[in-house]
Structure 1
């Protein structure tokens, strides 16, 4: 397999990846995952793996190697409960970045939300990332303080 080839599929309990994803993402984001520990976050991932709707976790793998994931959530930002669904926790390990994994995961999340019948998909981000998402056709709709930092809420129109 060349460096670019990977596949994206919904997280399943059988994959055995919940622990890996929880450990990596919780180490990177901590409470921004929405959970107080990697164990609690892993339990969420296991529930998502059993879910037929949202939440949904999409996982990129190269063979059996985890190369990234993204979550689709019914709600993400507690101060904007009317917005739904959300793309969250887009994560690609450092050694796998710049190989198209993140872009492919975004495309898969957009396709999944559209397949579920949603008209829009939301995310929040900060720093230099709004520019990255804007280049992928996301539009900023609000800038606000959330969890101690300036965040940008962005929307992707699915219809």
Structure 2
């Protein structure tokens, strides 16, 4: 499917997407969101609307329909507090996976980080996803045990 009407913008109070994003992401990742409960995660997302820099939530939508989101966070991995900022998490609704929405969100968060003056951003992932990010010019920098799994920390150097 070719994306022709995908809009990516910061999460706003008016969009009413915070509750949907929180529910979808918390069902999928739970504590990997960094929060112990769905209400706490939703409250965090709502607070990002009022930050000038980090954290930031970018939302992809077709019209009024949520397609996906990505966060740019100051800190994501407690065992690597010296690394910042982090892309975490990237999420695309099931019906839009494979449509290019994920790549568009990655590009948008990279552009946003560059506008904020960052020179590098990080993420961590596992399973088959390191190859997904590597195909988008992210490079693995370390494998670590974190939250019960082997995770690959990856970096993207900004222009």
- TM-score, normalised via structure 1 length: 0.97
State the aligned residue count: 158
Deviation digits for residues 97-131 of structure 1, max 9, x if unmatched?
11110000000000000000000000000000000
Question: 2:53 aligned with 1:56, yes or no?
Answer: no
Q: What residue in structure 2 maps to residue 149 of structure 1?
A: 149
Alignment of 1:44-83 (within 5 A): 44-83=44-83
Which portions of structure 1, spanning 4 or more consecutive aligned residues, are displaced by more than 2 angstroms? none
Q: State the alpha-carbon separation in 2 of the partners of residues 78 and 121 from structure 1.
A: 16
Q: State the alpha-carbon separation in 2 of the partners of residues 47 and 3 from structure 1.
A: 33
CA contact (8 A) 1:13 1:50 kept: no
SS of the residue 1:110 aligns to? helix
Question: 2:23 aligned with 1:16, yes or no?
Answer: no
Gaps of 5+ in 1: none
- TM-score, normalised via structure 2 length: 0.97
Q: State the alpha-carbon separation in 2 of the partners of residues 95 and 158 from structure 1.
A: 30
Question: 2:72 aligned with 1:89, yes or no?
Answer: no
Q: State the alpha-carbon separation in 2 of the partners of residues 33 and 149 from structure 1.
A: 15
Gaps of 5+ in 2: none
Aligned CA-pair RMSD = 1.0
